[in-house]
Structure 1
Amino acid sequence: MSSTPPNTTRARFEGKAVVVTGAAQGIGAEVARRISAEGGRVIIGDRSPLAKDVVAEIEERGGQAHFFECDLEQFDGAATLAEYAVSTLGHVDILINNVGGTIWTKPYEQYGVDEIEQEVRRSLFPTLWGCRAFLPHMVERGQGVIVNVSSIATRSINRVPYAASKGGVNALTASLAFEAAAKGVRVVATAPGGTEAPPRKIPRNDGVLTDQDHAWYQQIVDQTVDSTYVKRYGTLAEQAAPILFLASNDASYITGTVLPVGGGDQG
């Protein structure tokens, strides 16, 4: 195993205290690895103990990382994560809110009321709670960066509740950035498009998928590829790089921006 992932430096996050949520797999795990490779001290907040594997990988490469198990769909989970991060690292420079992901994929009229509520709780509330829990600490210090991970799926098919949740993340990013800029805190977001990733370690839901479920999901794949200019899914590295840029001092004059990372699809 190489000492660092490819295309990284040691400069941008040297000594920075960074919290990454939802980093047991996928984009979040890639972000945590790369921030560590560039010198950051990382805390992963996730409700899955599988995040310990990412911490172990970071430590094997010589980085510093910690795992804190918490349910970020509840404010208490975000609040205890913030307390743990400050007590462990001394302060928090950067928060990356990455928890989210559509649970079901089907036409809107097929969703149950409870399913709609679960989708919003999964893909909007963790970012709302994360911002609320960490913001007072950053305001008190007069500095900090919050990077929210949204989605270009604000315009897509077969996942309307998820789209509405990510639209909320976009609005939160713009409005909070307006409030927080004078207090020294930047708030930005990326909006990933379709992303190639290893098979999920944690299923989005526990249900058995029918042929119809597979067909509805394939419609999402087809629409996603058709909507991009480059006609392909992105890679984890291609999604992590813009997140790291926005989190770094290279983006010090950028706030309130939601950056689409969807091969040309603007969402």
Structure 2
Amino acid sequence: MDSIYFHPNRFSHSNVLVTGAAQGIGKTVALRLALEGANLALVDRDASVHEYAAELQQSCTGKIFSVTADLENWEGAQTMVDETLSQLNSIDIAINAVGGTIWAKPFERYSDEEIIREIDRSLFTTLWSVRAELPGMIEQQKGTIINVSSVATAGINRVPYAAAKGGVNALTSALAREAASHGIRVVATAPGGTLAPARDIPRGPVPQSDEERAWYQDIVEQTLDSSLMGRYGTLEEQAAAITFLASKEASYITGSVLPVAGGDQG
């Protein structure tokens, strides 16, 4: 892979909120923003986000602080925004990166409780977050919201997750129309399969049976087959697309969902 080039000071004087910042795409986005001068509110439900914020603050010039909140409910989203505004006074950019498949199996094998949990994890975390972020942006008549969706909207063995991310796409498109008159852009990326270190906070149970492992392997094979490049992406490639959409370079882009999946359009 070629080196990832940073843009020093691209986000200096910008107040940026990043959810899901303790690991995965959200954590990598936070690192890039910190290196490019942003003031950051890092949000996660896991307390490790506090350690990560302190680590970034040691080497970066912007103000960086952290919030623990469960974004699967409205109260958590409102707490996140209230604490961010108390520290940064405004939210110029909000990056909503919480979500992820919990189970991998054919749709008929999901229980009703599992379906609800998938929707709560990968749709309501974004829906509540955006609802909390929006009023302050309307008041200041500017802002950018970037949602993280997925090309798994056309994937197998995770229909509830696909439905949730389809909802994120619809939220992005519909809200962009409402928010444009307030000077607010609303966009999304749709990551494909992405290489990442083992998760400190598992999304769900590890496949145990041969059948469960086969269902997960079907997802891996479909991901590779759907990518024109025939590979998984990297966290840095996902962060590069998100930070581009967050930047002034993307000032004429709204309502769009950008696939970042090696040619897989989802």
TM-score relative to the length of structure 2: 0.96
Matches within 5 A, 1:91-110: 91-110=90-109
CA shift for structure 1 position 11: 2.6
2:58 aligned residue: 60
Matches within 5 A, 1:63-78: 63=61, 64-78=63-77
- Whether the 8 Å CA contact 1:190–1:259 is kept in 2: the answer is yes
Matches within 5 A, 1:40-59: 40-59=38-57
CA distance in 1, matches of 2:22, 2:238: 16
Which residue type is aligned with residue 92 of structure 1?
A: I
Matches within 5 A, 1:6-21: 6-21=4-19
CA shift for structure 1 position 215: 1.3
Relative to structure 1, the CA distance from residue 262 to residue 208 in structure 2 (aligned partners, 3 Å threshold; closer, same or farther) is closer
**The residue matched to 1:201 in structure 2 has which SS?**
coil
- Whether the 8 Å CA contact 2:18–2:96 is kept in 1: the answer is yes
CA offset digits 1:9-32 (Å, max 9, x no partner): 223200110000011111000000
CA distance in 2, matches of 1:115, 1:148: 23
Matches within 5 A, 1:130-141: 130-141=129-140
- Whether the 8 Å CA contact 1:33–1:54 is kept in 2: the answer is no
CA shift for structure 1 position 264: 0.1
CA distance in 1, matches of 2:155, 2:60: 41
2:148 aligned residue: 149
**The residue matched to 1:92 in structure 2 has which SS?**
coil
Which residue type is aligned with residue 54 of structure 1?
A: Y
1:196 aligned residue: 195
CA distance in 2, matches of 1:32, 1:207: 27
1:174 aligned residue: 173
**The residue matched to 1:124 in structure 2 has which SS?**
helix
Relative to structure 1, the CA distance from residue 242 to residue 85 in structure 2 (aligned partners, 3 Å threshold; closer, same or farther) is same
CA distance in 2, matches of 1:62, 1:113: 45
CA distance in 2, matches of 1:109, 1:151: 22
2:227 aligned residue: 228
Which residue type is aligned with residue 202 of structure 2?
A: P
Unaligned runs of 5+ in 1: none
Matched residues, percent identical?
55
What do you get for the CA RMSD once the two structures are aligned?
Answer: 1.2
- Whether the 8 Å CA contact 2:37–2:60 is kept in 1: the answer is no
- Whether the 8 Å CA contact 2:54–2:65 is kept in 1: the answer is no
Relative to structure 1, the CA distance from residue 208 to residue 235 in structure 2 (aligned partners, 3 Å threshold; closer, same or farther) is closer
CA shift for structure 1 position 45: 1.2
CA shift for structure 1 position 7: 1.4
TM-score relative to the length of structure 1: 0.96
CA distance in 2, matches of 1:200, 1:6: 23
CA shift for structure 1 position 208: 6.3
2:157 aligned residue: 158
CA shift for structure 1 position 206: 4.4
2:182 aligned residue: 183
Which residue type is aligned with residue 104 of structure 1?
A: W
**The residue matched to 2:233 in structure 1 has which SS?**
coil
CA shift for structure 1 position 207: 6.2
1:28 aligned residue: 26
Unaligned runs of 5+ in 2: none
